[in-house]
Structure 1
Amino acid sequence: MPVYSCKFSDEKGKIQNLAVFAKNREEAKKFIEGKGYLPLKIKFDFFSILKNIRIIFARKVAESDFLLFNHEFVALIKAGTPILRALEILSERARTPLLKEILFHVREDIKKGKSPSEAFSPWQNYFSSIYIASLLAGERTGNLESTIRRFLVYQKALITVKRRIKYALAYPVLLFLFAIAVLIVLLSFIIPRFASFYADFEAQLPSITLFLIKLSKFFSRNIKFLLIFISFLIILFEWVIKKEKGKRVVHSFLLKIPFISDYIKKGSISIFSRTVGLLLEGGIPLVSALETAARAIPNKIISDKFSKVVRDVRSGESLSSSLEKTGIFPEISIEMIRVGESTASLPEMLSEVANYWDERIEEGLSATVSLIEPVVILFMGVLIAGMLLSVYLPLFRIVTLVR
C-alpha cells in the first residue's frame, strides 16, 4: 500500500509529521482528520515504492522484531494503554516496513470492530500461526496479557533451540566453506601456473598431476557456466520447495536419511508438544490445539501424521493412544503424556516432553559436531596435501634430473 507523508497541526497547534498508509491522498487526509488534526500538506512518499518491494519479497517478520513488538505490546497493555493506542505507538516504532504495514492494517481492522485474533489472521503467513491461537485464547479467557506472556516464553524457547543448533553447526560449516575456497584458489591460480611451467620443460607428468591440470583447465574455462548452473539449481530448488508436491517430495526424502531423519522427528515432537501445551494452558480446547500444532510442524509428512491424531482424538480416542499410532513419539514420551492425561496435568507434562527432547537434540548435536570437526579437518588436510603433493612431485623430479 502507498505511503503518504502528512504534515498537520495537532490539537495544541503544534506542527507534526506522520507517514500514513493509504490507497490515495484523500484517504490519507481522512485518516488525519479522523484523529482530530488539521492536515496542512499531504504528499506521496516515493520511497514507499522501495518499501513495498521489500514487503513483497519479505517472507516473514524477523523473530527478533516480532518478539520485541510483543514485549512492548504486553508492557503497554499492563500499563493500561488501550489496544488501539498501543498498536498506534508500536506501528510508529516498528523497525521494518513489513511490520509497520501489518500493524497499520491490524489497527484499522480492530477499529472496524474485529477482535485482535481476527485482525492478525490475514497476516499469519508472516509470523508464527501459534500467535493467532494465543490471541484467541486470551480473548476467550479475558486475559490477553498473560496469554501473550506465555507465547513469549514459548517463542523464546524455540529461538533458543534454533540458536544452539546454528552455533553447533557454524564451525563445521565454516571449515567446509574454507576447504571449498582453498580448492577454488588452487584450481584457478596455483595449478595453472605449474601447468605452464611443466609445459615449458615438456616433463613427463604423473597421472594424478595430469588429472588436476585438466580439471583446472575445465574449471577455468567453464567457471561462468558452472556459476550459472549452480544458480539455476538453487532457483529451481527454491521453486520446487514452494510447491506443495515438491515440498512433500523433499520432506519425504529427508526422512529417509538416517541422521537427519532422527533430528527432524525429535524437533517435531518438541514443537508439537510445546505448542499443544501452550494452547491448553491458554484455555484452547484439545482438538483445536492439536489442529494448530499439526499445522506448525515444518515437515509436511510428519504434519500429516499429526493431522490423523486430530481425527482420532475427535472420534473419542485418547491423545496418548493416537500419538502412539503415528510411530513418531517414542514410548517414554507416550508414557509421560499418558500420566498427564490420568492426573489432569496434560499441559505441564507436554511442556516436560518438549524440554526433554530439546535437551536430547542439544546433546546429540554436541556429540555429532565433536565427531564431525576432526573428520572435516582430516579430510581438508588430506585433500589439500594430496593436491599440493601431486603438483610439486614433478618439480622434485625435474630438480633431480637437472642436478
Structure 2
Amino acid sequence: MEMDSSGVFYFFSFIIRYFILFPIRLILLTLALLVYAILISGALIYNSENKMDFAYVFIIKAVNFILGTRITHHGEKKKLRSHHIFISNHTSFLDFFLLSSYKFPHACVSENHGGLFYFFFQLILSRNGSIAFKRCEKLDRSLVKSRMIEHISKKKLPMLVFPEGTCVNNEYTVMFQKGVFELDIDVCPVAIKYKRRLLDPYWNRRAHGFTFHLFYLLTRWYIEADVYWMPPTKRQPDETPVEFANRAKLLISEKAGLRNSLWNGYLKSSPAIKDRDLLKVAFRMTYLNRENLKGNCLQGSRSSEDGESCSSLGHGKFYSDNQIDQTSYLDINIYGNIPYKTFINEMNKEYHLLKCMPYNEQHVLILDLLNKSSSINFSHMPKKGCSCRKKAFRYLKKKHGFRNCRMDMLNGKL
C-alpha cells in the first residue's frame, strides 16, 4: 500500500525521497557499477573464478544496500551436490538480487527486454552463465533447455528460474511453464512475499519499462520481503512434468500465502496464436459441458483423500477448486447458475489438459474449432450494442484476434 498522497507528512516525504534520497542512491549505484566493472575486468585478465564470484557478490550486495532491502529469510538454503535448480514466484527483477544476496549468488534465465535492462544484464550477468532469450524467437526458446542442461552439468553457479515466465503482482501464482520440470533433476522451491507498506514491487511491463521501474524503486524508503527456502523435491516416478509443476506451485503458494491460479501468465501480453486458439477450444469444451458443472465433480468429489489434487481424463493432476483462487473478486453466476469462479477454473483445467496433448492432437482440435467457427450464423448478432462482429470476420479472414463477446458462443458452437 502506498502512503496517502495528502497532508504535510507526504509532502516532506516526497521532497526527501525524490530530491535527497534518489540523487544519493543514483550516485552510489553508478559508483557500484564502476567498481564492479573494475573487479570483473581484473577477474577476466587473471582468469580467476574466485575474483569473478567476489565481483558478483559485491554488486548484488551493493544493489540490495542501495535499494534499502530488508529481507527476512526462513528455512535453510543449501547448495546440493547433485544436479539441482532453484525456482521461485516472480514479481520484479529485484527477485534475483534478493535471492542471490543470501549465502551464494545465482545464474538465471531471463527474457531479453532490450534497453537499459539489456545493458545491466550484459554488464552483471552475462559472465556467470545466465541465459537471455527472446520469447518471440522459436530458435532461442529451443536453445534455452540445452544451455540450462549444459550449465547445470558443469556445476557452476546454481541456476535460478522463474517458471511463471512473467512478473505477477505477488498476490497470485499463475501457471508454471513445464520446461524446467522436464529436466529430471532436484528442484528447490523458494517463495517470496513482499510487504506492501510503502511500495508496490510489481513490475507491470505493460504500464512502464525497466527504467521507470528502477526509478520507482530508487525513490522508495525501503523494500521489505520474506523469503522462504524449502527442501528440494524431485519428480515422482508416476508424475508428469505438468503434475510436478503444479505440485511445486502449490508449495510456493501455500508458503507465501499467495492465491493459487491456473491462468497462463503469457496470455496477459501478446500470446502466441496457438495459445489463444487452445484457450478458445478449452472455453468451447467447458461451455458445452456446462450442465455437468452443476454436479458434484467441482464441489470436491474429484479431490483426492488428502484434498490436494484430483485426476482429470488421465492427462494429469489438477488442484481442486477449494485450493484455486482464480476469480475471487467476481462473485456472480453465469450460464444457468454456474459460479463464475467455477467456470473459469474448469476452463483453465481444460486448457492445461490441452497443453499436455501432443502437437498433432492440438492441431486437430484447433482446426475443428475453426471449422465450427466458420459455420456461425452471424445474422443472430445484434446490429447495435455488440462490437465483436467486425473482430469475428477479421479473425476468419486473417486467423488473428481474440474474441471475447458473449455472441461468440451462439448455440454452443464455439
Q: Under TM normalisation by the shorter chain, which class is it? A: under 0.3
**Which of the pair has more CA radius of gyration?**
1
What TM-score do the two structures reach when normalised by structure 1?
0.24
The structure that is helix-richer by fraction is: 1
The structure that is strand-richer by fraction is: 2
What TM-score do the two structures reach when normalised by structure 2?
0.24
Q: Which structure exhibits the higher relative contact order, with contacts defined as CA atoms closer than 8 Å and separated by 6 or more residues? A: 2
